Structure 1
Amino acid sequence: MSSTLGSTGAPVRLGVLGCADIAWRRVLPSVAATPSVRLVAVASRDAAKARRFADRFGGEAVTGYADLLARDDLDAVYVPLPVGLRHEWVGRALAAGLHVLSEKPLTVGPDTSAELLAEAGRRGLTVMENFAFRYHRQHHELRRLVSEGAIGRPRALMCEFGVPERAPGDIRHDPSLGGGALLDVGVYPLALAQFLWGDGLRVGGAVLERGADTGVDVRGSVLLRAPDGGTAQVGFGFGLHYRNEYTVWGEAGAVRLDRAFTPPETLRPTLELRTGAGTEDLVSEPDHQFRNLLDAFADGVRGVAPVDAAPVLELADLVDRVRRSAAEAVTG
């Protein structure tokens, strides 16, 4: 059961449900570097895997997710389980009185996500998706440039996020676990479009390419229309040359950003600004997006700065509309 931290500044005591690759590579190294959170325990169905994580990152190794949720020394849990399992285990964490940092998206659809957020609201608990890019200064700097008129009136966003082929048997190829490119990499450019353009995006068209062997979507393209008439074109998928960038194109110029979603904390981000006056590279200081996100989560847990749940529901609804548009394109 969670303690009441208030605004004391005590570290949020964190448990981890699942020994996923993202936890090993990105999140738990960031937890170790973030004073606002402290790893207490990590759980896996495989005792040896839990021990390997605990040996590297600290905390106690726990066999079984239910045993971790039964502990009385946690304030919150991080849930990197496959998306198809998150509805159950985020729900069980909330029932145990624990705040939740979940991998993205929260669940496979808008109804289940709304159910969890409603439960969190009833219990006064924080639920946050691990979209770390929203906490990197490079995107806020780009948004500031655009809002100040550096490229004139913005009219189009082009964003691509593609990764090489996943190994056979990877959980992202398993439909029962919520597999597919849309929920794995496609949610990033969709969330970016919302970050830059706001809510109210309409789906103008969508294509999802299905894998012949697995049935899950492996690549996709989406056209979005913003309330002001601007457009967003996004592409994503598995089995592609790695690509991770976006451009905002305006009436008087364009600004481009590479390494949009996965910048290492040592990277000095560069915004490429192109106008009639020429091309200018705007270099900013490195930033640690995962540490920033963890601090924001800790502030939400403590009640210092409540986490806005609206983007979770807005994205879940947008993903659902993309699916429906793609299905209509196939049957129409």
Structure 2
Amino acid sequence: MSAAARATAPAVRLGLLGCADIALRKVLPAVARTPGITLTAVASRSAAKAARVAADTGAEPVRDYPALLARPDIDAVYVPLPAALHTEWTERALRAGKHVLAEKPLTPDATETARLVELARSRGLVLAENFMFVHHPQHRCVQVLLAGGAVGEPRVLNATFTIPPRPEGDIRYRPDLGGGALLDVGVYPLRAAQLLLGPGLDVLGADLRTDPERGVDVAGSALLRGPGGATAHLTFGMDHYYTSRYEVLGSAGRLRLDHAFTPPADHRPVITIERQGGVERLELEPFDQVTAAVRAFVTSIGSGAGPDAGAAITRQAELVADVRRAARAPLPPHRGDPTTQLLSTP
């Protein structure tokens, strides 16, 4: 769609399914900054919370999720619910004819993910998995540098995303809601490996450390091999010092990027390249990746093609399943009862 056509097209009318923290802190402010989309309605398991968020955003509070999906004045929905609830409400939204932007991971199960991708395709709807970091131009800059031989032939990708322990009661510690380090933070280095080494990755081995009291994995690592023979060493966890970086070791140098996955909008990225002749630091302009993700969703609705086009979403889910299989870890418990889901949903 041309810029002129976008300027005259009606705004995408967005519904919010659940008042999760990421929605309130990041995505809804980005929606307010993005032309071509407006928050129309808000649903939450708490009527009071829906009313507060609606009052703050100029939207209309709705009594529950089914009521929001039944509204004809909603074109798309944003699903920031716990991971175990994504399958149910993403499918309901698609069957109601709504485009969907869902927080990562789209679902905890590769088979369900593939089924939802196909359902969206068959109905001509956009289904996007909200990996915001892939929209940041710092990664495109890294891709260009690597393709241009900045470090010679890439041999190894080391990617790490770790966060400190969460407060007790946090949903990341609830196996019934799809908690655990792999689904919360491990998916980031896995997605980065796809971005930098290509889609043809194989999982060679993995380990997940489970907290026996909580019943979820709190740390893990994985070893993957790319189609060209390069390997990816991935580390993730939520029992660590905060780290968000990757580096590529090549035959002639090393490239490093800090603040790789969740940089604030005012952060100035620095790509460091070390070679035998010295060290080069490339400083980039600040960039708001959250607003860019919302903008990509709006653009994809206008053009009729999802920003991930299904393939990356499906392959990401397969890699998560492969890591779990290599670590001999079971799938999280399945939550298929929508009534129970409503009682547990933010």
**Which TM-score band applies after superposition, normalised by the shorter structure?**
over 0.9
- Where in structure 2 are there 5+ consecutive unaligned residues? 330-346
Paired with 1:277 and 1:10, the residues of 2 have a C-alpha distance of 54
Shift in alpha-carbon separation, 1:208–1:306, aligned structure 2, 3 A: closer
Cα deviation per residue 1:244-272 (whole Å; 9 max; x = unaligned)? 11101111111111111111111111111
CA distance in 2, matches of 1:257, 1:6: 34
Match of 1:56 in 2: 56
Contact 1:36 1:298 in 2 (8 A): yes
User: Which residue matches 1:189?
Assistant: 189
Q: Which residue of structure 1 aligns with residue 260 of structure 2? A: 260
2:206 maps to 1:206: yes
Q: In the alignment, what sits opposite 1:215? A: 215
Q: Would the aligned equivalents of 1:151 and 1:252 in 2 still touch at CA under 8 Å?
A: yes
Distance in 2 separating the partners of 1:108 and 1:211: 19
**1:176 equivalent in structure 2:** 176
Alignment of 1:15-54 (within 5 A): 15-54=15-54
Whichever residue aligns with residue 51 of structure 1, its letter is A
After TM superposition, the structure 1 stretch with the greater mean CA deviation from structure 2, 5-14 or 187-196, is 5-14
Shift of 1:229: 0.9
Question: 1:296 matched to which residue of 2?
Answer: 296
CA shift digits 1:158-179 (9 cap, x unpaired): 0110111011111111111111
Alpha-carbon distance, 1:36 to partner: 2.4
Superposed, 1:1-332 pairs within 5 Å as 8-303=8-303, 305-307=305-307, 308-327=309-328
2:332 is aligned to none
**In structure 2, the residue corresponding to 1:327 is in which secondary structure?**
coil
Q: Distance in 2 between matches of 1:224 and 1:182?
A: 15
TM-score (norm 1): 0.94
Superposition CA RMSD, Å? 1.5
Q: How far apart are the structure 1 equivalents of 2:285 and 2:221?
A: 33
Q: Given residue 312 of structure 2, which amino acid in structure 1 is its aligned partner? A: P
- Structure 1 consecutive aligned stretches of length 4 or more whose deviation exceeds 6 Å: none
Structure-2 change in CA distance of 1:6 and 1:30 (3 Å) = closer
* Equivalent residues, number: 324
1:99/1:301 contact within 8 Å kept: yes
Aligned CA distance change for structure 1 residues 233 and 103 (closer, same or farther; 3 Å): same
Contact 2:126 2:304 in 1 (8 A): no
The runs of 5 or more residues in structure 1 that have no matched partner are: none
- Percent same amino acid among aligned pairs? 51
Q: 1:81 to 1:231 in 2, by over 3 A?
A: same
How far, CA to CA, are the matches of 1:67 and 1:187 in structure 2? 32
Q: What is the Cα deviation at residue 303 of structure 1?
A: 2.3
> What's the offset of the Cα at 1:226?
0.8
Contact 2:207 2:222 in 1 (8 A): yes
Look up the SS of the partner of 1:262 in the other structure: coil
Alpha-carbon distance in 1 for matches of 2:234, 2:58:
39
Three-state SS of the structure 1 residue aligned to 2:328 is helix
Cα distance in 1 for partners of 2:245, 2:262 equals 10
| Contact 2:126-2:305 at 8 Å conserved across structures | no
Deviations 1:119-173 (A, max 9, x none): 1111110100000111000010011111101111111100110111011111111
The CA deviation string for residues 273-330 of structure 1, in whole angstroms up to 9 with x for no partner, is 11112112100111111221112111211225543110000000010010000018xx
